[in-house]
Amino acid sequence: MISVEQLGKRYGRQVAVADVSFSVPKGEIFGFVGPNGAGKTTTIRVLATLTPADRGRATVGGIAVGEDPAAVRALVGYMPDFFGVYDRLTSEEYLEFYAACHGVPRGRRRKVASELLELVDLGDRREAQVDTLSRGMKQRLCLARALVHDPSVLLLDEPASGLDPRARVEMRELIQELRRMGKTILVSSHILPELEELCTWVGFIDRGRMVAVGPMADVRDRVASGRRLRVDLVQPDEDSLLHVTELVRNREGVVDAQVIDDHVELTVNDAFADHELLALLVNKGLKVRSFGVVEGDLSEAFMRLTGDHHS
Amino acid sequence: MSWTGRFLRALDNPIVAKDGISRMRSWRAPLAITLYLGLLGAFGFGIFSIEVLSSSYSRPVSAQIGAAVFGALAWFQLVLICLFAPALASASISGERERQTFDVLLVSGVSAFGIVWGKLLASLAYMYLLIVSALPLFAAVFLFGGVDLEQFTLVQVITVVTASSIGAVSLLCSALFRRTLTSTVSSYGASFALVAGTAVAGVILSYIKVLGQAAGGLEPHPLLFANPFYALNTILTQPSGNPIHAGRLLQLLFLARGRSSDWGPQLEPWQLSIAIMLIAGLLSIVASVLLVRGRRASLPFRRPRAAVVAQ
pLDDT category of residue B303 using cuts at 50, 70 and 90:
very low
- DSSP collapsed to 3 states, B252-273: HHCCCCCCCCCCCCEECHHHHH
Number of folded domains that form chain A: 2
Domain assignment present for A165: yes
* CATH code for position A233: 3.30.70.100
Question: What integer pLDDT is reported at residue A151 of this predicted model?
Answer: 92
Do residues A249 and A146 share a domain? no
Pick from B21, B109, B298: CB nearest A88: B21
Alpha-carbon distances of A158 from A277, B103, B230, rounded to whole Å: 44, 16, 56
Q: Which residues of B are less than 8 Å from A82 in CB distance?
A: 100
pLDDT category of residue B298 using cuts at 50, 70 and 90:
very low
Question: What integer pLDDT is reported at residue B300 of this predicted model?
Answer: 39
Do residues A189 and A234 share a domain? no
Q: Using CA coordinates, name the residue in chain B closest to A74.
A: B109
Question: What integer pLDDT is reported at residue A253 of this predicted model?
Answer: 76
Q: Which residues of B are less than 8 Å from A20 in CB distance?
A: none
| Chain A nearest C-alpha distance from B110 (Å) | 5
In 3D space, the residue among A79, A56, A208 whose CA is nearest the CA of residue A140 turns out to be A79
Domain assignment present for A308: no
**Residue A95 predicted with pLDDT over 60:** yes
Q: Using CA coordinates, name the residue in chain B closest to A70.
A: B109
Per cent of chain A over pLDDT 90 is 13
Domain assignment present for A129: yes
Domain assignment present for B309: no
Domain assignment present for A311: no
Do residues A198 and A286 share a domain? no
Owning domain of residue A145:
2-215
Question: What integer pLDDT is reported at residue B249 of this predicted model?
Answer: 64
Do residues A76 and A47 share a domain? yes
CB contact under 8 A, B306 and A67: yes
Instruction: Name residues whose C-beta falls within 8 Å of residue B176's C-beta, 6 or more positions apart in sequence.
Output: B183, B186, B291
From A108-122, A137-151, B135-149, B182-196, the region with the lowest mean pLDDT: B135-149
From B3-12, B103-112, B233-242, B247-256, the region with the lowest mean pLDDT: B247-256
CB contact under 8 A, B306 and A98: no
Bridge partner list, A264: A231, A259
Do residues A251 and A210 share a domain? no
| Chain A nearest C-alpha distance from B25 (Å) | 7
Chain pair A-B, CB pairs under 8 angstroms? 107
Amino acid at B289: V
Domain assignment present for B7: no
Do residues A91 and A181 share a domain? yes
Q: Using CA coordinates, name the residue in chain A closest to B115.
A: A101
| Chain A nearest C-alpha distance from B22 (Å) | 5
Q: Which residues of A are less than 8 Å from B296 in CB distance?
A: 49-50, 69
CB contact under 8 A, B107 and A78: yes
| ipTM of this complex prediction, to 2 decimal places | 0.78
Q: Using CA coordinates, name the residue in chain A closest to B17.
A: A97
| Chain B nearest C-alpha distance from A76 (Å) | 9
**Residue A244 predicted with pLDDT over 60:** yes
Owning domain of residue B231:
15-296
CB contact under 8 A, B296 and A49: yes
Domain assignment present for A136: yes
Residue ranges in B99-243 assigned as alpha helix (H): 102-106, 112-133, 135-140, 149-176, 180-192, 198-210, 228-237
Bridge partner list, A210: A205
Separation of CA B219 from chain center? 25
Do residues A63 and A182 share a domain? yes
Amino acid at B304: P
Domain assignment present for A309: no
Domain assignment present for B305: no
Domain assignment present for A221: no
- The dihedrals phi and psi of B61, each to the nearest 5 degrees, come to -75, 155
| Chain A nearest C-alpha distance from B241 (Å) | 47
The B-side interface with A (CB below 8 A) comprises 14-15, 17-18, 21-22, 25-26, 99-101, 103-110, 295-299, 302-303, 305-311
Give the pLDDT confidence of A45-92 residue by residue, as tens digits: 999 988 888 888 889 988 888 888 888 888 999 998 887 888 889 999
pLDDT category of residue B247 using cuts at 50, 70 and 90:
low
Domain assignment present for B224: yes
Do residues A137 and A265 share a domain? no
Task: Say if residues B277 and B162 touch (Cβ distance below 8 Å).
Answer: yes
Do residues A17 and A133 share a domain? yes
- Domain's final residue, options A188, A215, A242: A215
* CATH code for position A62: 3.40.50.300
CB contact under 8 A, A49 and B108: no
Do residues A50 and A158 share a domain? yes
- The dihedrals phi and psi of A37, each to the nearest 5 degrees, come to 80, 10
Residue of A101, A104, A108, A109 for testing the chain B interface, max B β-carbons within 10 Å: A101
CB contact under 8 A, B106 and A50: yes
Do residues A202 and A250 share a domain? no
pTM of the model: 0.77
**Residue B248 predicted with pLDDT over 80:** no
**Residue A188 predicted with pLDDT over 70:** yes
CB contact under 8 A, A97 and B18: yes
Number of folded domains that form chain B: 1
Task: Look at B248 and B53; give whichever has higher pLDDT.
Answer: B53
Q: Which residues of A are less than 8 Å from B29 in CB distance?
A: none
Q: Measured between alpha carbons, how far is B119 from B67 in angstroms, rounded to an integer?
A: 37
Do residues A211 and A234 share a domain? no
